[in-house]
Amino acid sequence: MTKTFLETGLTASLASVLDSIGWNNATGIQSEAIPLLLQGKDVIAQAETGSGKTGAFMLPIIDEMIQLDDYLHRNHVFSALVISPTRELAHQIVSEAQRMITAAGEKIRVLGVIGGESEHLQKRAFIDTSRRPQIVVATPGRLLDILSGDDWKDVRDSYLKNLKHVVLDEADKLFESDFVGTIGQILDVARDAKIGAGIETGQDWQTALFSATMSTGVTQISTVAKMKKGTVRVSVTATHTTEALIQQWMLVPIDLKDLYLIQFLRKQDTAKKVIIFVNTKLQSNRLSFLINNYWGFEEDNTIDLPDLNDTEAPRGKWRAVPLNGSMNQATRTTRFRRFIDGTANVLVATDVASRGLDTIVDIVVNYELPASSKVYVHRIGRTARAGRHGMAMSLVSQYDGHQFIQIENGLANKEQLHQVDRTPADAMDAAMVEHLKVAKNDTMTQLRDLGLDKVQDKKKGKIVKNKGKRGPKRM
């Protein structure tokens, strides 16, 4: 049962302003975790991405800080460390924290210590007492790099000795990314600073661990974190989806998927945001190029993605950006920001590249089916959040039957998944079909020119050209 924010134990001054950022009531995980964290307990919480977990761990931290006296505020006393497995998620946590702080009318400094950005500037923020953050959101590798420097040990330890909260977000992903040892080293540095300050146990902070799944890997993370005896476990999970989400699927011939994707997009309002999920880097690039070519944005199909003159996709058109694991961090950040700010309204992403993306979208399209019902729920869970309505469409080919049945059987509420009829290909608008043919030809030419028409055969180490032919998918 969900609660109002006041019922969770937050101070009235904070609870009363959260509606200004669209938060009227606490979500399930917020209702469970916030009261426990306000009581100072260590918490292990199981919650899906999009369930409001950032608010669940950040609101108690902010609530405590706004009650501190002016001296602590003026001196930027370190309060909280949030460790995230991905750069994108870290950026989003920083953004969400700043939204909450702004709504509360407070001046709490939040710093992202994130790989791919200036390490020098991040370190300066720690050393310069006038710029010190009270909340640090970090990726493990970059944070350890900064904390490992002996040239500023005294300053570092004087800062770390005040640490009061540690949050390990998406602990299952932290384990999968092999960050267990790194997290242990980071916390050891903090423990040494505490011991140097006369705190015998070396650990007096509160620890909150959030994860979508509970595995042996998560247990290892909690062990490294040395969570207190009496740690409370809460779980707000499901393999079901919200009734506010319309789930549809369409059986389409595999060689006509592009046609039915374009037809589907033509029927949607371009003021909305769409994520199209694919399973390979090649498809991420190809579909992004295809959509841009069809709607007349050929200039977007470049490697370096130069800045565009317009600030958002023109009304009535779809503009796409790809997001996949072959991109460096700067490119991924640029493309994601274009999607967030509306320069692009379609993101064509692989599951690996989309980890940590916590933005709200209106429509999710499974151009290619995911590997499991759990991944399916994770994909479509990016829409219909916070009381909003959303749509998910899955394009199912004649070769996807077995995989689709497995996904369907793994859903707790599969009755919400409805098949929709497709328009016969020979009954589609002839101009649309012809325009798509031209766009597909242009796409293949551009991919070849940019060297993006090839896939790596990892087993044999060979480069294999994509000839545009499609066959049965192997699951």
Kindly list the domain boundaries of the chain, sorted by start residue: 12-236, 245-465
Q: What is the mean pLDDT of the chain?
A: 86
Token readout for 422 is 């497709």
CATH superfamily ID and name for 245-465: P-loop containing nucleotide triphosphate hydrolases (3.40.50.300)
Over range 240-253, report the average pLDDT.
82
Same topology between domain 12-236 and domain 245-465:
yes
Over range 132-148, report the average pLDDT.
94
Residue 314 binned pLDDT confidence (cut-offs 50, 70, 90): low
Q: What is the pLDDT of residues 429-445, one digit of tens each?
A: 999 999 999 999 999 99
Cβ atoms of 52 and 29 within 8 Å: the answer is yes
Rounded CA-CA distance 333/346 in Å is 15
Cβ atoms of 390 and 383 within 8 Å: the answer is yes
Provide the pLDDT for residue 463. 44
Give me the architecture of the 12-236 domain, per CATH. Answer: 3-Layer(aba) Sandwich (3.40)
Rounded CA-CA distance 315/407 in Å is 35
Q: What is the pTM of this model?
A: 0.68
Provide the pLDDT for residue 69. 59
Q: What is the DSSP string of 353-410?
A: HHTT----BSEEEESS--SSHHHHHHHHTTBS-TT--EEEEEEE-TT-HHHHHHHHHT
